Amino acid sequence: MPRPTTASNKGKDESVRVVVRCRPMSDKEQETNCERIVNIDEQRRQISIRRPVNENSQRNAGEDGHNFFFDAVYDWNSKQRDVYEQTARPLVDSVIEGFNGTIFAYGQTGTGKTFTMEGVRSQVELRGIIPSSFAHIFDSISHSTSKQFLVRASYLEIYNVKIQ
């Protein structure tokens, strides 16, 4: 029987979790009245993509849609803190306990990876996963009196098959 998921064991039973965050429409997309064809159901952890309305198409809008399920999904209104707390924090907690951890952001240019990972460091509510993780790790270390820690961390960007 699987054990119930709690804050302390969430994600430990799985080696890989796939999380999707959809960005808001850009100013240009809004100005040109682009149609939103992605629907997010965070409770069901489902992303639905439907065919856009096309005057030249013989199909109706919504036909031939596709549904995808993930370990977690976030819509364009999601907050940086919520994404961190629900997805990265359990991994960082396991790292603090001595396990290795990796967060891998993947996607097309302009889809929000940098914002999700780095955010705006000068504004706490907009900090991304990287600065939030470091703050969490070093805050935990500062409150521990019974353990010694050695922290090794790195992050890199691969862009057009080149390490940045």
What are the binding residues?
A: 107-114
Give the whole-angstrom CA distance, residue 157 versus residue 79: 23
Distances in whole angstroms, Cα of residue 59 to Cα of each of 51, 52, 54, 64, 67? 9, 10, 8, 9, 18
Residues placed in the known binding site for ATP: 107-114
Give the whole-angstrom CA distance, residue 109 versus residue 56: 29
Give the whole-angstrom CA distance, residue 130 versus residue 135: 9
Closest C-alpha to 154, from 130, 137, 136:
130
Longest CA span, the chain: 69
